[in-house]
Every structure is written in C-alpha cells, then in structure tokens.
Amino acid sequence: MLEKSYAKVNIFLKITGTKEYNRNLYHTFNSRFMLVKNLYDTIEFVPQKCDSFTIEGLDIPKEQNIIYKAYKTLNAHTGDLDILEFFYNHKVVVKKNIPFGAGLGGGSSNAATFMNMVKTACNLQLSTEELANIGATIGADVPFFIYGYNSANVSGFGEIIEEFEEEPLNLEIFTPPIHCDTAKVYKAFKENYLKDAKPNAGASYMLNKSIDILNNIKDPTKLNDLYKAALLVYPELKKIQKEGYYFSGSGSSFFKAL
C-alpha cells in the first residue's frame, strides 16, 4: 500500500484569538488551506516482520516522529489489536520531498495520510469526522489532510473544516534554506501582535475564491498574520522574499499563483 502525502499552502491566515483545549491554550485562526498536488511525500506499508513499530526514511528519532505519534494515538483511541498485529508484519517507509519547517504542513500531511491508510488496512470502524477529531489531538493541520479536500476554509484551532469548491491553482513555491520554528513564530506573535487579534479576522476572505484573494491583496503581511512575527524571529526572510509571492503558514516557504 502506497499513498501520496500532499503539501498545502495557506492562501490567507488570520489569527482570531486563543482557545483552551485539553488544558492547553492554543491560538485560533481563520484560514484557507489549499493542497499542492505537485509537491508530495510518499508513505508505503511494506511487508516485513518487525519487533516493534518501524519507520524508515526519516532521520529523526522515532519518538519525535509525528507518524509514530499518530500510531500511538490511534492505538489509544481505538484499542484495536489489528493495528498492533499489522505493524508487527509491516514497516512504514517514507520518502520525503516536502521540506521541514517550511509552512507546507508536511508532517501533518504525513500523519493524516498514515491514519487514513491504517483505517483502510485495518478496517477501522471510524468515520472521517471521528478520524479527524483524533487527528486534531496530534496537530492543528492534521484534520484538513484527513478530509483530503483540495481547498477548504479552516478555523478554530484547525478542527473546523469546510470544503471550499474552486478550481485548483497552479502554484509555484520556493523554500529558502531557513527552518522556521513554529513555536518561536507563534511566541513572537503572542508577545507582539495577539492583543490586536479580532475574532472575525479573515471572515470576509472565506467567501472569496483563492485567486481573487491573491489578485486583490498584494501585501503578504495582510494575508498572513504570522509573517510579521516570522520577520521578527527571522529578519533575513525579508531579503529573500520575491515580489508577488506570499508567505505560507509559519514559514519559511513563499508561493504565488501562476
């Protein structure tokens, strides 16, 4: 079993405040997520006897891997012994093309793709909504990828997904050699800009097609609230940005519609 794990961009990203979830405080937002169909990782389940859950292709400790976290979370929520049995007989092989720390949702996409694959492989009796709710405990972007919409309005802290029907955009992406730490970017936003956040920020954008939003708003700091925060932490981004490109997520990738 092999599946593509797509990247995404945030056409816009407006922070609306904070919200408590599972005794933690998260930033809430309104955003438009769009899949990038020409940039993806692959995840494959390969038959092999394994003493424990085995991942190949990622040069990070297993315990820090979001796919392993998805595996542990699925086990905890379902208690399905078929999952344990399956991964005693299969390893997970990941081929990465989506860069790390790039605002493209690569890790969240991997987790969501893995969860959808496990649902199929192990015949889990979970609806897409139930799986997305489990995914929300792993990462804010995971539910979007579980639903698999080409384009969607995403709000709350990532758990509210509404498909937005529009033609996919042909997107050009460039990612500078800067790893943006999401926690540091959000910390800078909280310390400098959270006081100005409005609960309905970005609500009007949610009604419009992505191409119209990009054509009408030329200033990338107006479309992505995290860009100003990222510039405080990584000022070199300003020198790298090209005219006509927009900042995705917490960075560091820029994109434009062709």
Per residue in 82-135, pLDDT tens?
999 999 999 999 999 999 889 999 999 999 999 999 999 999 999 999 999 999
E strands in the chain: 2-21, 24-47, 55-56, 90-95, 151-156, 160-163, 171-174, 246-247, 254-257
Which of 163, 189, 223 is the last residue in one of the domains?
163
The answer to whether the CB of 119 falls within 8 A of the CB of 71 is: no
Task: Work out the average pLDDT over 6-15.
Answer: 97
Measured at the CA of 123, the angle between CA 35 and CA 151, to 5 degrees, comes to 15
Which of 117, 136, 163 is the last residue in one of the domains?
163
Total domains in the fold of the chain: 2
Measured at the CA of 123, the angle between CA 119 and CA 127, to 5 degrees, comes to 55
Long-range residue pairs from 94-98, CB within 8 A, at least 24 positions apart, any chain: 94/41, 94/42, 94/43, 94/44, 94/55, 94/56, 94/57, 94/58, 94/67, 95/41, 95/42, 95/44, 95/57, 96/41, 96/57, 96/58, 97/39, 97/40, 97/41, 98/5, 98/7, 98/39, 98/40, 98/41
Domain range enclosing 231: 171-257
Phi, psi of 223 (to 5 degrees): -90, -30
Task: Identify the band that residue 22 occupies on the pLDDT scale cut at 50, 70 and 90.
Answer: low
Q: Are residues 43 and 148 in the same domain?
A: yes
Query: C-alpha dihedral over 68, 74, 80, 85, to 10 degrees?
Result: -20
Instruction: Report the Cα–Cα distance between both ends of the chain, in Å, rounded.
Output: 33
Q: Are residues 180 and 239 in the same domain?
A: yes
- Judged by DSSP in three states, 172 sits in strand
Check 14, 41, 141, 225 and give the catalytic one: 141
Q: Are residues 56 and 132 in the same domain?
A: yes
Check 8, 69, 119, 256 and give the catalytic one: 8
Q: Which pLDDT tens digit goes with each residue over 231-249?
A: 999 999 999 989 999 999 9
In the block, which residue shows the tokens 């910390």?
A: 187
Q: Are residues 180 and 135 in the same domain?
A: no
- Mark whether 8 is an active-site residue: yes
Q: Which pLDDT tens digit goes with each residue over 142-183?
A: 999 999 999 999 999 899 999 999 998 999 999 999 989 999
- Mark whether 141 is an active-site residue: yes
Q: Are residues 143 and 23 in the same domain?
A: yes
